[in-house]
Amino acid sequence: MNHKLEILKMIEAGKISVEEGLELIEAAEQTERIESDSINEEEQYTYGRTERETLKNFDVALVSCKLNIERSNVEDVTIELLNPQTRELVEKPDWLQFYEEENYIAIKEKRSGSFGDLINFFKDPGENNLFKTIFINIKLPMNLVVDQGKFSSVSGNLSAIGLNGVDFTFKTVSGKVYMTGVKAQVIKGKSTSGSVISEDVKCESGVYGSTSGRLKITGQHGTAKGKTVSGSIEFDGGDEIKEADFSTVSGKIDIKVETPEKYNLSMDSLSGGIDPSGFAVVDKDISGKRRVNVSNRSEDRWIKASTVSGKILFDKK
């Protein structure tokens, strides 16, 4: 069945909103990816392996479960399955599948429900017993480095605390993504309708996105990119940032850096406002479009921001 076509017909018929349709499309793609994966076929898990004991690869794909992964005082990777309300340990359900080999760990939430069950879950998650959730808590040894970590969920929240790694991807449809103290070369965080919070991280490249949720980004980035439709973007960075590039349709963009006067600026707003706090002059053309363009302050440092109807704020940290 073409689920995407079915969802588009539901939007056209007024049965669901456009935003609900976007969430369902993302959810359908996520569940299809989980179903197409097979954790019994070894060839699916040959990428990115290493003989170094301190390196591991993770691939976690969930539907409704919540996930937290953190560094802790443990000797080996420890996975706890908890009741989300009481935080008491629970037995592993049949629909939750684990796979571990050498330096690779996979966790897949494989439900037996239909696409209609998924739609009902989004409409009323509290009443849908098929998608009862659990809380997955993964503890990593302090010296463990994650080579590639892919963590995704349809509706569950994803959180990461104090991780060290090379490449992290966190993706959810209606849940929240929360990262704090994470260090990596690349960090990617995306939620369709939930917020993405990236606090006190350190990375060479950070890429964040949400359709209607809020983006909050702090810490040290070499480059940072963020994109939303109606959600706001808050960026609070230091002088290590070489390029920041943020865009929204109607959401507000609030950028703060330690030395605003040292950055080239490229900002534009079709019908919203731009407030550079005295660090640049705002030009306005005959159509009402506002623009800031400064290119003589640095050879390689840029702050870029664009919006259709939102407001852009730029100031000293």
pLDDT digits (tens, 9 = 90+) for 230-254: 999 999 988 889 999 999 999 999 9
For the residues 160-171, what does the mean pLDDT come to?
Answer: 96
Residue % of the chain over a pLDDT of 70: 76
Q: What integer pLDDT is reported at residue 17 of this predicted model?
A: 63
Q: What integer pLDDT is reported at residue 49 of this predicted model?
A: 38
pLDDT one-digit tens code per residue, 110-129 = 765 545 555 555 555 544 44
Q: Examine residue 236 and state whether it is found in any structural domain, yes or no.
A: no
Q: Examine residue 291 and state whether it is found in any structural domain, yes or no.
A: no
* Domain with 112 in it: 6-213
Q: Examine residue 106 and state whether it is found in any structural domain, yes or no.
A: yes
Q: Examine residue 243 and state whether it is found in any structural domain, yes or no.
A: no
Q: Examine residue 301 and state whether it is found in any structural domain, yes or no.
A: no
Q: Examine residue 60 and state whether it is found in any structural domain, yes or no.
A: yes
Q: What integer pLDDT is reported at residue 46 of this predicted model?
A: 33
Say which residue, 268 or 35, is predicted with more confidence. 268
CA contacts within 13 A on the Cβ side of 129: 0
Say which residue, 1 or 264, is predicted with more confidence. 264
Say which residue, 297 or 22, is predicted with more confidence. 297
User: How many angstroms separate the Cα of 314 from the Cα of each of 102, 110, 131, 217, 253?
Assistant: 48, 45, 44, 15, 8
For the residues 196-222, what does the mean pLDDT come to?
Answer: 95
pTM for the structure as a whole: 0.83
Both structure tokens of 162: 């104090």
For the residues 58-84, what does the mean pLDDT come to?
Answer: 93
The three-class DSSP label of residue 27 is helix
User: How many angstroms separate the Cα of 272 from the Cα of each of 5, 278, 287, 305, 308?
Assistant: 35, 18, 12, 12, 7
With vertex at residue 250, the alpha carbon angle to CA 245 and CA 254, rounded to the nearest 5 degrees, is 45
> What is the rounded distance in angstroms from the CA atom of residue 38 to the CA atom of residue 106?
10
The answer to whether the beta carbons of residues 65 and 79 sit under 8 Å apart is no
Residue % of the chain over a pLDDT of 90: 61
Split at pLDDT 50, 70, 90, the class of 40 is very low
Both structure tokens of 45: 């898990």
For the residues 300-312, what does the mean pLDDT come to?
Answer: 95
Query: What domain count does the chain have?
Result: 1
Q: What integer pLDDT is reported at residue 107 of this predicted model?
A: 94
Q: What integer pLDDT is reported at residue 20 of this predicted model?
A: 63
| Average pLDDT of every residue of the chain | 84
Pick from 93-97, 183-187, 196-200: least confident = 93-97
Split at pLDDT 50, 70, 90, the class of 101 is confident
> What is the rounded distance in angstroms from the CA atom of residue 296 to the CA atom of residue 76?
52
